[in-house]
């Protein structure tokens, strides 16, 4: 009887410890997901190119975007046909979401082929393909924070600051590849760290396979992710035990990565008859710098560009998101914990690689963009140290961290509310356009559509919106439902932790 009571008490204690953490993680993930899908950013060359491929596969069962290509200049031209110039990872994930959405549309008697149906499809495919992985990456970062010993408050701070206090908020609401690639890199990093604690051959294989799939899909999503994916594979090998477990790890990573490589190369061969990157098939009159400057626009890191990507008013990450500067110190703190030194080092190397890559590109401002878009995928790994920084900071230091995250969140909120596709020619679009437009209540400014030109027409009726506007609210008042959701989430958080303390 005594043993029975002790066992029961032990189970209850474990449940009490674990259940609030799970509820807190889900609350954080739900809050991030709602915050991202609250804003629909409208069309543009980048997202249209990917969505055109989704439609071509779903509607015409082809990789050619001939029927849709006029809405974008981001396209490859090969043997008289047009293709998306992007890596196919985003589009391929969007295809099953599109099939599911079309089934729901038919159930509600909405014509999937009407402009209204395609408009709704573009929003929901983005939510399922980009916003959902971003919210899952927030949950992943929350549990990484717990693993690093930061507690639930530190874990929540790291997850929310990364997702809503950096350009990740904007990238998560656009049908681009940077947010998905960044989420995949974070998934791979988390899976690699689990290998050290895997106790059976099956669990070792599963976590190694997860590393291979996640890191591999980052490259299927964005070609530049390949070096970062390789670094995460090395991290996974360093975390596995020697002997048989090491070989199982190699096998799991290899199988996962090989599947991703097969998908990418199979797509390139099916579309172009070779395995050359799709960017090499531009029409000679489009993006001529890709042929004239180095290798597809890449030369060498330019120090002036690097400084502007970090501190500049136009695209500087530290300027637009000061919490990312603190994240650098967080990685140093994480590195000082011997257990996670390798993870911190790999995260730092991934960050350095992405910024050096971006500074090497001729088109380094990345067109219409909020922040350093080409380096955007490094943001989740960079911010892995934030929970540790929170845990070790004194009360005044935590207030400073909250202030830095709050500044980044306000800037990101203003960008996604107005438009996060900021002019490349403007020396400081935050000051010159975002701030004035936001405080004047001029929201959802992008009237470009992800539909074809014929479907969209000239009225601008299929551009950006936020969910408050769909409820009939105008100007800044359209953000009130989002603020109400944040307030509710705060109440739920306090309730979860009040129950735990009781």
Check if the beta carbon of residue 442 is closer than 8 Å to that of residue 478: no
Q: Are 120 and 105 spatial neighbours (Cβ–Cβ below 8 Å)? A: yes
Look at residue 8 in the predicted model and tell me its pLDDT.
31
Give the whole-angstrom CA distance, residue 88 versus residue 94: 10
- Total number of domains constituting the chain: 1
Dist CA 188 CA 236 (whole Å): 9
Task: Give the model confidence (pLDDT) of 448-501 as tens digits.
Answer: 999 999 999 888 889 999 999 999 999 999 999 999 999 999 999 999 887 554
Task: Please say if the pLDDT value at position 402 is more than 90.
Answer: yes
Question: With 60 as the cut, is the pLDDT of residue 18 above it?
Answer: no
- Structural domain containing residue 166: 2-501
Q: Residue 188 to residues 3, 129, 219: CA-CA distances in angstroms?
A: 41, 18, 12
Question: Distance between CA 146 and CA 149 in Å, rounded?
Answer: 5
Integer Cα distance of 392 and 398 in angstroms: 9
Residues 32-60 have pLDDT tens digits of 999 999 999 999 999 999 999 999 999 99
Give the integer Cα–Cα distance in Å for 343 and 382: 11
Please tell me which residue, 294 or 488, carries the higher pLDDT value.
488
Q: Give the separation between CA 29 and CA 35, rounded to whole angstroms.
A: 10
Residue 482 has a CB neighbour count (10 Å cut-off) of: 18
The residue with tokens 């932790």 is: 497
Share of the chain above pLDDT 90, in %: 85
pLDDT given for residue 500 in this prediction: 54
pLDDT classification of 14: cutoffs 50, 70, 90: very low
Instruction: Name residue 78's beta-bridge partners.
Output: 81
């Amino acid at each position: 009887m005594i043993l029975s009571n002790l066992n029961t008490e032990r189970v209850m204690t474990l449940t009490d410890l674990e259940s609030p953490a799970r509820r807190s993680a889900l609350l954080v993930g739900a809050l991030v997901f709602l915050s991202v899908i609250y804003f629909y950013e409208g069309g543009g060359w980048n997202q249209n190119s990917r969505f055109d491929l989704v439609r071509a596969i779903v509607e015409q069962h082809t990789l050619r975007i001939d029927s849709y290509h006029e809405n974008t200049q981001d396209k490859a031209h090969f043997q008289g046909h047009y293709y998306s110039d992007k890596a196919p990872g985003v589009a391929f994930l969007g295809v099953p979401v599109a099939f599911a959405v079309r089934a729901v549309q038919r159930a509600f008697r909405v014509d999937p082929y009407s402009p209204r149906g395609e408009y709704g499809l573009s929003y929901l495919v983005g939510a399922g393909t980009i916003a959902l992985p971003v919210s899952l990456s927030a949950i992943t970062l929350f549990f990484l924070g717990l693993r690093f010993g930061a507690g639930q408050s530190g874990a929540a701070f790291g997850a929310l600051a990364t997702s809503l206090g950096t350009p990740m908020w904007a990238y998560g609401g656009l049908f681009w590849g940077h947010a998905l690639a960044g989420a995949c890199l974070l998934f791979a990093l988390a899976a690699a760290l689990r290998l050290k604690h895997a106790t059976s051959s099956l669990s070792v294989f599963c976590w190694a396979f997860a590393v291979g799939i996640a890191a591999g899909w980052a490259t299927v999503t964005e070609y530049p992710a390949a070096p970062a994916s390789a670094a995460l594979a090395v991290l996974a090998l360093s975390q596995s035990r020697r002997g048989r477990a090491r070989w199982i790890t190699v096998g799991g990573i290899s199988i996962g990565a090989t599947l991703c490589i097969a998908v990418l190369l199979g797509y390139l061969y099916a579309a172009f008859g070779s395995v050359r990157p799709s960017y090499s098939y531009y029409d000679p009159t489009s993006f001529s710098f890709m042929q004239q400057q180095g290798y597809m626009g890449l030369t060498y890191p330019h120090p002036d560009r690097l400084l502007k990507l970090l501190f500049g008013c136009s695209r500087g990450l530290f300027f637009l998101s000061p919490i990312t500067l603190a994240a650098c110190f967080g990685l140093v703190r994480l590195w000082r914990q011997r257990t996670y030194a390798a993870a911190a080092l790999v995260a730092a190397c991934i960050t350095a690689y992405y910024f050096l890559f971006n500074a090497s590109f001729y088109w380094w401002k990345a067109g219409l963009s909020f922040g350093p878009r080409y380096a955007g995928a490094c943001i989740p790994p960079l911010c892995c140290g934030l929970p540790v920084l929170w845990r070790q900071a004194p009360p005044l230091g935590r207030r400073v961290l909250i202030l830095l995250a709050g500044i980044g969140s306000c800037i990101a909120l203003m960008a996604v509310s107005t438009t996060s596709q900021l002019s490349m020619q403007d020396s400081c679009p935050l000051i010159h356009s975002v701030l004035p437009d936001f405080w004047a209540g001029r929201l959802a400014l992008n009237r470009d559509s992800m539909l074809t030109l014929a479907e969209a027409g000239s009225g601008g009726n299929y551009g950006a919106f936020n969910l408050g506007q769909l409820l009939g609210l105008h100007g800044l008042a359209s953000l009130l439902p989002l603020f109400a959701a944040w307030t509710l989430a705060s109440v739920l958080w306090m309730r979860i932790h009040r129950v735990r303390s009781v």
